[in-house]
Amino acid sequence: MKRSFLATRAWFTVPLVLVAAIFAPGVCFSQTEAALTTSFAVGRGPAAVVFDGSNIWVANQFGDSVTKLRASDGVSLGSFATGVRPSALAYDGTNVWVANKFSNNVMKLSASDGALLQTIQTGQGPEALASDGSNVWVANGGDGTVTKLRLSDGAKLGTFAVGSRPIALAFDGANMWVANNDSNSVTKLRAKDGVNLGTFRAGQRPAGIAFDGINLCVTNFYSKSVTRLRATDGATIDKVAVGDGPSSIAFVGGYIWVANYGGGSVSRIAPGGTVVNTYSVGKTPSGVTSDGASIWVANASSDSVSKVIL
């Protein structure tokens, strides 16, 4: 990516999911190839996607709205107003949560009909969301903190200092991990009380983080790589080279999927660390999720989402 990531991030928000990767000499890369892919128009600047069990929700950051698509065929089931610059989504089993970066709040929407159930103030510039099953965690990119909210009623249970510009979150079953974009690091917080268990080095401009069941994996936007960290102590295990501007990441069906923001593609990485497929999608892919049968990608500069059938 030649454009400034700081400038890019002022316009496009890169969400989070998950990976695992192993770097070894001679790792083999496939060329970008065709797949059974379809695209669906959504709002302006889609930045994040989440699956609710039946539908795909899309955060349209420049349209101040979310769009609900039926996962089976991509039919739009409605668009719903949000705050200013919706940048992240999470699903708690019943409701969809939306982080509104420029409104400094999160909204709780009913997944059944998109009705607004609650609006909750957070820290400055919320950019990421993750649930631990009982609470939703909010990464406040503007003030270097993470806020913990109770899912049932949105009560604020604590705000915890982390690194500079936290923009991604992942839960490992006991701890919440935070990617600090401006600090080139990740922070490990104990989920039950927010105690800081350590801060660990990542690559340049970590943009996404996820748990693969054993390790934490971090996309490094400027390093064109994914770093795998041991969940027990944060030690670096290895790295794998990926495409230009890796942002969002997901672990699906035993494979790692990485949205390459600068490459207009998603890469599928096998457990051994080999990039086995790279599929073209829309421009500046910024979010990735799965419905169990397909990969869905938010294309921020194409005002669309792509469905890659597995």
Specify the number of domains making up the chain.
1
**37: which 2 tokens?**
């892919």
CATH of residue 224's domain is 2.130.10.10
pTM: 0.89
**180-186 long-range contacts, Cβ below 8 Å, gap at least 24?**
180/144, 180/206, 181/9, 181/141, 181/205, 181/206, 181/207, 181/221, 186/216, 186/218, 186/229, 186/234
The per-residue pLDDT for 32 is 55
> Quick one: how far is CA 14 from the chain centroid?
6
Specify the pLDDT at position 26.
Answer: 28
Residue 206 confidence (pLDDT): 98
The rounded Cα 110 to chain-centroid distance in angstroms is 21
Supply the pLDDT for residue 255.
86
Distance CA 136, CA 133 (A): 8
Residue range(s) defining the domain that contains residue 200 = 5-309
| pLDDT at res. 13 | 44
pLDDT recorded at residue 49: 98
Q: What is the pLDDT along the chain (310 residues), one digit of tens a residue?
A: 333 333 333 334 444 333 322 222 222 333 455 568 999 999 999 999 999 999 999 999 999 999 999 999 999 999 999 999 999 999 999 999 999 999 999 999 999 999 999 999 999 999 999 999 999 999 999 999 999 999 999 999 999 999 999 999 999 999 999 999 999 999 999 999 999 999 999 999 999 998 988 889 899 999 999 999 999 999 999 998 999 999 999 888 888 899 999 999 999 988 777 888 999 999 999 999 999 999 999 999 999 999 999 8
**Which pLDDT score is estimated for 33?**
57
Tokens read off for 221: 């936007």
CA gap 293, 149 in Å, rounded = 31
Give dist(CA 81, CA 172) in Å, integer: 32
